[in-house]
Chain A
Amino acid sequence: MRREICALTKIYHFSAAHRLHATRYSDEENRRIFGKCNNPKGHGHDYHIEIKVTGNIDPETGMVINLSELDEMIKDIIEELDHTRLDIEVPHFREFVPSGENIAKYIWMRLQPKMKKGAPLHIKLWETQDNYFEYFEEDNYSANE
């Protein structure tokens, strides 16, 4: 029998404000690089996070992952991000610019170690309806596509 590849994707939501500003650049440079996103008081988005888990279908449960377990694993990550000003209130983003790329990576870094049997994660972060960012381990991409 051929190999079966099954992935479950659950979409979670949070809303947050951020300002894109890199401390190593001057204010003028920051305005040039980040444009409107450098506004000192910040601006916000309704983020949608697609969490895709690839794995075997457990014969006892019929599931790749139990959704209540996934909800539980991501709960504190969402709580940390939801309704905050990311670059001020979330410690990680005081150090790293809260760009879509960095937020997607941060969610992957927090969630991947919690996955049973190392089931690979593919994170897709929608910042607006027209922008999304993905983060995943490249070796697992074929299994994840």
Chain B
Amino acid sequence: MGYKTLLTKRVEFSASHRYWNPKWNEEANKAVFGKCISPYGHGHNYVLEVTVDGTVDPDTGMIINIYDLKPLISEVLKDFDHKFLNEDNPYFKDLIPTTENIARVLWDLIEKKLKETTDCKLYRIRLYETPDLFVDYRRE
């Protein structure tokens, strides 16, 4: 039994995407993805929650300074905010930008940056596509 302190930072970004599996014909894509196959994409106001796990520094009382965490996330989101994910973002050339896959890519990018500059561990990524639809992603 142990105790855990977590910190979560919420950040919004807006992006467009299109669902399309190039291995399938149009009919098959439409059957699975419906309206989301529209060729020029459609968009969402995403809300990203980054939850960080770590030791509380006895001097600052913090796991991580939000002044450090926020720019780290903003840097990662440069390739996402106000972009067409399928074409403007390098990670979705061969990966369908579903909420699940975006969460997975964000986990990789944010975890890498956290490791480079802090002693904190990434605990969970939650990505809201709409207020009624979200994905939780983590690795253990």
A11 to B134, CA, bound (A): 9
Tell whether, in the assembled complex, residue A62 and residue B139 are in contact, meaning their CB atoms are under 8 Å apart. no
A61-B21, A67-B133 are contacts. A8–B138 as well, Cβ < 8 Å?
no
A12 to B131, CA, bound (A): 11
- Contacts of B98 on A, CB cut-off 8 Å? 57, 61-63
Which residue in A2, A6, A7, A11 is a CB contact (below 8 Å) of B104?
A: A6
Q: Which residue of A lies closest to B35 (CB)?
A: A68
- Contacts of B68 on A, CB cut-off 8 Å? none
Tell whether, in the assembled complex, residue B96 and residue A62 are in contact, meaning their CB atoms are under 8 Å apart. yes
Instruction: Tell me the minimal C-beta distance from B107 to chain A in angstroms.
Output: 8
Tell whether, in the assembled complex, residue A64 and residue B100 are in contact, meaning their CB atoms are under 8 Å apart. yes
Tell whether, in the assembled complex, residue B132 and residue A8 are in contact, meaning their CB atoms are under 8 Å apart. no
A57 to B21, CA, bound (A): 14
- Contacts of B33 on A, CB cut-off 8 Å? 61
Chain A residues 37-60 with CB under 8 Å of chain B are: 52, 57, 60
A66 to B99, CA, bound (A): 11
Q: Interface code B98-128, partner A: CB below 8 Å = 1, 0 otherwise?
A: 1111011000000000000000000000000
Which residue in A5, A52, A63, A64 is a CB contact (below 8 Å) of B139?
A: A5
A4 to B103, CA, bound (A): 11
Tell whether, in the assembled complex, residue A68 and residue B132 are in contact, meaning their CB atoms are under 8 Å apart. no
Which residue in A57, A67, A68 is a CB contact (below 8 Å) of B101?
A: A57
A84 at the interface (CB under 8 A from B): no
A4-B104, A6-B100, A57-B101 are contacts. A64–B135 as well, Cβ < 8 Å?
yes
Instruction: Tell me the minimal C-beta distance from B115 to chain A in angstroms.
Output: 14
Sample (22) of A-B pairs whose CB atoms are under 8 Å apart: A2-B139, A3-B139, A4-B104, A5-B137, A6-B100, A6-B104, A7-B136, A9-B134, A9-B135, A9-B136, A10-B132, A11-B131, A11-B132, A12-B132, A57-B104, A60-B23, A61-B21, A61-B96, A62-B97, A63-B100, A67-B133, A68-B34
